[in-house]
Amino acid sequence: MPITELLSRNATYFKDDIALVEINPEVKNVPYVTWREYSLIESGRGGAFRKQITWGEFDVKANRFANLLLTRGIKKGDKVAILLMNCLDWLPIYFGILKAGALAVPLNFRYTAEEICYCLDKADADALVFGPEFTGRIEEILGRNPRVKNIFYVGEDCPTFADSYEKLIEYCSSHAPGVYLTDEDDGAIYFSSGTTGFPKAILHSHRSLVHAADVEQAHHGQTKDDVFLCIPPLYHTGAKMHWFGSLKSAGKAVILRAASPEWIIRTVSEERCTIVWLLVPWAQDILDAIDSGKISLHDYELDQWRLMHIGAQPVPPTLIKRWKTVFPHHDYDTNYGLSESIGPGCVHLGIENTHKVGAIGIAGYKWQVKLVDENRREITSGVGELAVKGPGVMKCYYKDAKATAEVLDEEGWLYTGDMAERDRDGFIYLVDRKKDVIITGGENIYPVQIEDFLRANDAIKDVAVIGLPDRRLGEITAAIIEVKEGAALTEQEVNDFCMALPRYKRPRKVIFAKIPRNPTGKIEKPLLRKTYCGESVVAQQNEIDLQKLQ
C-alpha cells in the first residue's frame, strides 16, 4: 500500500476533523485563538499566528499540487525538492508530490547555496518548491541545475524567477490524479545529516514510509484522540515519521514554529497535546525554566499530556530521571534510528521499560538487530557495531553503489556505524559513533560514556567529547563544556569531578564553550574539530577516521 492511501482514507472518513494546526509566534500582532475560542492577547500572554486545516482540506491541497505537477510535465519517478521552513503547507506539498507519482526530496533549511545546488544535482531534481527564507540562496544558483525546470514559491511577493504555488493551485483539479502506485515504488530521497561528511542521498520506497507509520503507532499506541506536538524540522525523517503515527490514527497534530520552553508548555496546554517528541536540549531547557521559576506549571493545563519521547541522539539518563521527577505521570520512550532506516523506531526503549533508562532499547516493531565485530561476525558480548534489518531499510544511497555496498549487505542488514553493547536482559546501550571512538595509547575510549558522566555535574548544561590528534598517544580526549546559565565551573573543578573515572578516560583538555547542534539535536563534532584543531589537524583527524573504518 502506498503512503498516500492513508491520507485518502482520512479525507474520506474524517473529512471535517482537524488534521494540522500551525502556530507561529514569530508573526506578531495576530491574535492567537485557542480551541476554547478566546484570544490569549487578552489573557496577557501575548499572541501568535494560528491556522488549521481539516483532513479534507489537506487532501484537496495535495491533489491540487499533484495535478499542477502533472500539467508541468512532472511524471512518475521524477524528483521534486522541498526547501521550506515548517509550515501548514509543508505536508500537503509533500503528499502532492507523492500523489503525482514523483519522489519527494526534502532539503535541510540550513544548507548553503552550494549545498542546495549539490543536493539538487545529486537527487536529479526536476522541480523545486521553496519559501521566502531561501530566495537569496536560490538566486545564487539559478541556472546551475538545468534539469530543474519548474521552481515554485510558497509565500507572498513571489520573485520573478519562480511561479506562485498559491496562485497556480487555485486553478488545478481537487480530485486525485489517479497515478497508479504500489508499495514498492520509490517514494522519497532523504539526505543524511552530514555530521560525518557531506550528505548522502537515501532512497526509500512507499513500503518504507508505511512501515514508519506502523512502527510509530505500534510503539506509542496513538489513537484518534491523541494530539501530537511537532517541533523539529519536517525535512528530517525523525519529525515526519513520528507524525506518521498521527496520519495512521487520523489524529490532530500541531506544528509549532518555536522551540522555547514557554511556547512548548503553552502549546501543550492550549492545544491539549498528549504526545510530545523533544530533543535533548529542549528537554533540558524546559526543566531549567521550571527550576528557575520562568515557567510555573500551575499556570497551565497539562493533565492530558501522557507521553514524552526523545530520539536523534544519545539521551543522558540523568535528564530522564530529572524529567520523571517533575512529570511523574508521563510515559517515556527513547527512539533510536537513522535516515537509512526511515528514521526512528528500529530500536526503541518502550514505555514499559523506564527502569532501563540509558539504554536505547530492543528491536522495534518488525525489526531485527544484532551486534557485529570488525569482520561483521555477530557477537554475543562486548562492544560491537549495531546492525538492523527490517521493512524500513533504505533501497540504496542514490547514485552511489560504492557507499551502499559499504553499509548494506546482500541479506538486507544495514550497518549503522554506531557502536553498542547489550546487557544481560538484551537491552542495547549506545556507546558511540564508530568514527568518533577515540584511540589513545592503544585504548578505545567512547566519548558518549564520558559525556554521560559529565552531564551528572549540576553546573553542566551540555558537553561534547572529541579526540584531538597527539604525537605521542595518537589521540587525546578533549571535553567541550557548556555551563548552565548562572552557574560557575572551573577547569580544576572539572578535573576533580572526573577523578571518579578511570585514569585513561579522564579528559586531557577542558574547553568552556557553547555546544553546536544541528536542527535534529545532534552534536556537530566535525565543526568542533575544525574549531579547536584547525584545518591541518582536521586533515589528520580524517586520516585517523579512515584508519578506524578500514
CATH of the domain at 85: 3.40.50.12780
Q: Is residue 373 part of a domain?
A: no
- Identify the domain containing residue 295 by its residue range: 4-326
Q: CA-to-CA distance for 347 and 363, rounded, in angstroms?
A: 5
Q: How many domains does the chain have?
A: 2
Domain boundary among 292, 311, 326: 326
Pair (13, 135) in one structural domain: yes
Residue 316 domain-assigned (yes or no): yes
Kindly report the pTM of this predicted structure: 0.82
Pairing of β 18-24 and β 509-512: unpaired
76 occurs within a structural domain: yes
Beta strand spans in 140-216 (E): 150-153, 163-164, 186-191, 201-205
Which of 277, 300, 326 is the last residue in one of the domains?
326
Residue-level pLDDT, tens digit, the chain, 550 residues: 899 999 999 999 999 999 999 999 876 544 444 433 333 433 345 567 899 999 999 999 999 999 999 999 999 999 999 999 999 999 999 999 999 999 999 998 888 898 899 999 999 999 999 999 999 999 999 999 999 999 999 999 999 999 999 999 999 999 999 999 999 999 999 998 654 456 899 999 999 999 999 999 999 999 999 999 999 889 988 889 999 999 999 999 999 998 899 999 999 999 999 999 998 778 988 999 999 999 999 999 999 999 999 876 667 788 888 999 999 999 999 888 889 999 889 999 999 998 898 899 999 999 999 999 989 999 999 989 999 999 999 999 999 999 999 999 999 999 998 889 999 999 999 876 667 778 775 567 878 888 888 988 989 999 999 888 776 666 789 999 999 988 999 999 999 999 988 787 889 999 999 998 876 667 888 788 888 875 434 344 443 343 343 3
Residue ending a domain, among 296, 326, 356, is 326
Is 420 domain-assigned?
no
Residue 228 lies in a domain: yes
DSSP 36-70: T--BTTTTTS---EEEEEEHHHHHHHHHHHHHHHH
Residue ranges of the alpha helices (H) in 54-196? 55-71, 90-99, 113-122, 135-141, 165-169
Q: 32 in a domain, yes or no?
A: yes
What is the C-alpha to C-alpha distance for residues 413 and 474, in angstroms, rounded to an integer? 32
Both 65 and 204 in one domain: the answer is yes
- Residue 322 and residue 456 in one domain: no
Whether residue 446 sits in one domain with residue 308: no
The answer to whether residue 219 sits within a structural domain is: yes
Place of cell 570488525: 374
Find the CATH number of the domain harbouring 529. 3.30.300.30
Question: Which region holds residue 397: left if phi is over 0, alpha if psi is between -120 and 50, else beta?
Answer: beta
Is residue 183 within 8 A of residue 162, CB to CB? The reply is: no
Residues 113 and 234 in one domain: yes
On whether residue 265 sits in a domain, the answer given is yes
